Structure 1
């Protein structure tokens, strides 16, 4: 029987594992593990450990960004249906591995327990193991929910958008009003203005102006 170890993977091991997965795909872990054993000193890992290392750490499709509130809600929704079948739940969360989903789920539960126990005396604090707590509907509903509430500002903005949307629905669609074309009123013909007549006085060679 192959002895399992928990010692950290080295950069060389990771590099070789990536190369072998690229060559043999994701279904030949026994072969991958055998080749790893020939090239890595003191190799004692199992095929399952190779697979888990790839799925949880090396797969380039893994999402490592912070979990969104929507992702957490979807996680809780699927947990109510599938329980601890993390690989099944991972099908609904793109880029999240089963192991990362499990770790995040229990991280949230532990945060909620700490939050619950913070201002309570010892006799009222939650002290049971998490698996036992989740079997009880009271504690399941208390603990299986996002640990972070939305910021007040974001909540107010969301509420304001909802109110505005409801107002638009009540008002109905906007009507396309044709702009009134302003017409310029016809002006009455102005009275003829007496303009000066211009003529030259040849004798004086000056311009003289005279009005009728």
Structure 2
């Protein structure tokens, strides 16, 4: 029986309390923070800092909070002789939520976020996909992924974190996904919306029923990459990518050979600028470029300082055509 209070928990693990964590064994499943705390430091930290700032800890956890959670779970595993996959069946996080004074789902989310990268990347099995489909039918809500992850781990004996489960369902196993090839209208629609909405894949997927944001992003990148390969440009060139995007919308075509030929022609073609000689009435001796107004020749600007009602102003002389612009020796106060 797992205790429900912190003092009862310490009494429950008193015989193994001072034993150091088996980090090589734990690190096979969990990413351990780069800190080390003794049992005395753990107990002192929980009774002071963690309890005082418990509400804040529900948001972002630091290394101390993560180490505390790993320490408590590890002690329970040793005391109850549990395996890593038995934690959820024994309701370990349900009991820890009462000890910590935090929601069970919150603790599960923190624990699953500590999973080792290699553990997260385990290949999915067909029976896992079938189980995921059934669980999604039981829990269809937008915030039910924690519940699905909990039931999934219990039933499959495979640890998957909620984000991984959600992405697997939304991008792979969802029965409503359209897995057929994209047609021309869909691809052109994607490029138009990518141009207008700055590549908001999630927003575009809502306008294409049956298509996921991952599918849409992949088809977009695939076409851009083919055109870049044709012209011999790197994929990280955002300027060229924007040019290709605009060209596809303009030409209403995404054929790599056609668009690459247009881009290559644009590179080799020199701009044509028509230069006309100045007329006899021109004020300058330099030629003017068509479409650009000739530069006006202004006289040297001399600033005059004058006094008016005890306030000093400084204006360029050419703003005041004769006889209205002030002279240095003008007397404005004369009646």
Q: Specify the TM-score bucket, using the shorter chain as the normaliser.
A: 0.5 to 0.7
In structure 2, distance between residues paired with 1:130 and 1:9: 35
Residue 2 of structure 1 is matched in structure 2 by: 114
State the structure with bigger RCO (CA 8 A, min sep 6), 1 or 2: 1
Residue 41 of structure 1 is matched in structure 2 by: 157
CA RMSD, Structure 1 to Structure 2 (Å): 2.4
Following superposition of structure 1 onto structure 2, how do residues 93-104 of structure 1 map, counting pairs within 5 Å? 93-104=208-219
Residue 168 of structure 2 is matched in structure 1 by: 53
In structure 2, distance between residues paired with 1:139 and 1:74: 15
Alignment of 1:126 onto 2:233: yes
In structure 2, distance between residues paired with 1:22 and 1:6: 25
Following superposition of structure 1 onto structure 2, how do residues 14-25 of structure 1 map, counting pairs within 5 Å? 14-25=129-140
Q: CA deviation at 1:147?
A: 3.2
Deviations 1:96-122 (A, max 9, x none): 001111111101111111222xxxxxx
Residue 166 of structure 1 is matched in structure 2 by: none
Moved more, 2-11 or 30-39: 2-11
In structure 1, distance between residues paired with 2:182 and 2:124: 26
After the TM superposition, list the runs of 4 or more consecutive aligned residues in structure 1 that deviate by more than 6 angstroms: none
SS state of the match for residue 65, structure 1? coil
Residue 29 of structure 1 is matched in structure 2 by: 145
Q: TM-score normalised to the size of structure 2?
A: 0.38
In structure 2, distance between residues paired with 1:86 and 1:126: 24
Deviations 1:78-103 (A, max 9, x none): 10111232110001112100111111
SS state of the match for residue 25, structure 1? coil
Following superposition of structure 1 onto structure 2, how do residues 105-124 of structure 1 map, counting pairs within 5 Å? 105-116=220-231
Alignment of 1:13 onto 2:128: yes
How many residues are aligned here?
139
Judged with a 3 Å threshold, the aligned counterparts in structure 2 of structure 1 residues 56 and 126 are, in CA distance, closer, same or farther, namely same
Report if the CA contact (8 A) 1:86-1:101 is conserved.
yes
Q: TM-score normalised to the size of structure 1?
A: 0.58
Q: CA deviation at 1:142?
A: 4.8
Alignment of 1:75 onto 2:206: no
Q: Please tell me whether Structure 1 or Structure 2 has the larger radius of gyration of its CA atoms.
A: 1
Residue 141 of structure 1 is matched in structure 2 by: 246
